[in-house]
Amino acid sequence: MSEDAPIPFDDLALQPGEMLHLHSALEVTGDFLPVGLLGYLRNQTLIVTNPIAAGKVVQVKEGTPCNVKGFSGTVHFTFKAKVLKVHAQPYPHMHIEYPKLVHATRIRKALRALVNLPATLYSPLTRKHTSVVLKDLSVGGGQLILQSPIGRKDSKYTLSFMIRLAEDLEEEVRTEVIVRTLDTQDARGAEVHTMGVQFLDLDKEARLLVMTFVYRQQLRKE
């Protein structure tokens, strides 16, 4: 696949439970809201949950044209689809048009974002929790700011932090990390301690969360 090209929807091999993001094409502004993929009937319909905003189910009218986007592996994809049918029982869900083609962009694994996320390091050796700040994030790892130097190269920790995907939606990412770099620099007369870590066991859901978050940060810069 080229860096930016249309591909068959079937090539994405999406599975029930994966997250998509939907936005009504009738709205000029507004966030893409997360919806869960419940299933699909090939070449006929996708079945997704209703979007939720501010803790409430968003009602979408039948016939509403929507923009949909998501991630699969290292591919960011978008497509347009109309809401075909809305059901309230046994839980709010919708049928939307099945796209034959989606517009796909290959995302580099090394894509990074400068962030400022509170995080916690847990040492299985000392059983201590240390508050840190995550300043640089990619799907492969990140850079942490420490109040004081800890650990050594190749030490292992559990890192946990929260990612905000929407105004009312936060998800926790928790992963084992290994220390790759340690550094102390002087910044305006104060010492700044940094730790570069590599993620060791991000599962598919966590990888999707991190990749989605990083890609959104990149979009905001454009």
The mean pLDDT of 190-206, rounded to a whole number, is: 89
Residues 6+ apart with CB under 8 A from 73: none
Q: What is the pLDDT of residue 213?
A: 82
Q: Which residue has the higher pLDDT, 83 or 164?
A: 83
Q: Is the pLDDT of residue 177 over 90?
A: yes
Q: Is the pLDDT of residue 21 over 60?
A: yes
Beta strands (DSSP E) in the chain are: 4-8, 19-24, 33-41, 45-49, 52-53, 56-57, 65-72, 75-87, 93-97, 101-106, 112-122, 129-138, 141-146, 156-166, 169-187, 190-199
Average pLDDT, rounded, for the chain: 86
Q: What is the pLDDT of residue 3?
A: 57
Fold of 112-221: Thrombin, subunit H (2.40.10)
CA nearest neighbour of 100 among 75, 124, 81: 81
User: Is the separation of the CB atoms in 79 and 8 below 8 Å?
Assistant: no
Tokens 């890192």, located at residue? 159
The mean pLDDT of 168-184, rounded to a whole number, is: 90
pTM for this prediction: 0.58
Q: What is the pLDDT of residue 1?
A: 46
Sign (positive or negative) of CA dihedral 15, 110, 176, 173: negative
The mean pLDDT of 53-69, rounded to a whole number, is: 88
**pLDDT tens figures, 26-49:** 775 567 888 889 999 999 999 999
Domain 4-106 class, CATH top level: mainly beta
- Residue 200 carries which DSSP code? S
Q: What is the pLDDT of residue 108?
A: 60
**Exposed/middle/buried for 68, CB within 10 Å: 0-12, 13-18, 19+?**
buried
- Residue 99 carries which DSSP code? P
**pLDDT tens figures, 80-107:** 999 999 999 998 999 999 999 999 887 6
CA nearest neighbour of 93 among 22, 38, 138, 159: 38
Tokens 């929790």, located at residue? 129
Q: What is the pLDDT of residue 5?
A: 80
Q: What is the pLDDT of residue 198?
A: 95
Q: Which residue has the higher pLDDT, 54 or 1?
A: 54
Long-range contacts of 28-35 (CB under 8 A, 24+ apart): 31/166, 31/167, 32/67, 32/69, 33/58, 33/166, 34/165, 34/166, 34/169, 35/94
Quick one: pLDDT band at residue 9, thresholds 50, 70, 90?
Answer: very high
The mean pLDDT of 133-149, rounded to a whole number, is: 93
User: Is the separation of the CB atoms in 75 and 1 below 8 Å?
Assistant: yes
Q: What is the pLDDT of residue 181?
A: 95
Spans of all domains in the chain: 4-106, 112-221
Q: Which residue has the higher pLDDT, 6 or 216?
A: 6
> Cα(120)–Cα(129) distance, rounded to whole angstroms?
6
Q: Chain centroid to CA 155: how far?
A: 27
Q: Is the pLDDT of residue 222 over 50?
A: no
User: Is the separation of the CB atoms in 67 and 77 below 8 Å?
Assistant: no
Q: What is the pLDDT of residue 75?
A: 79
Q: What is the pLDDT of residue 2?
A: 45
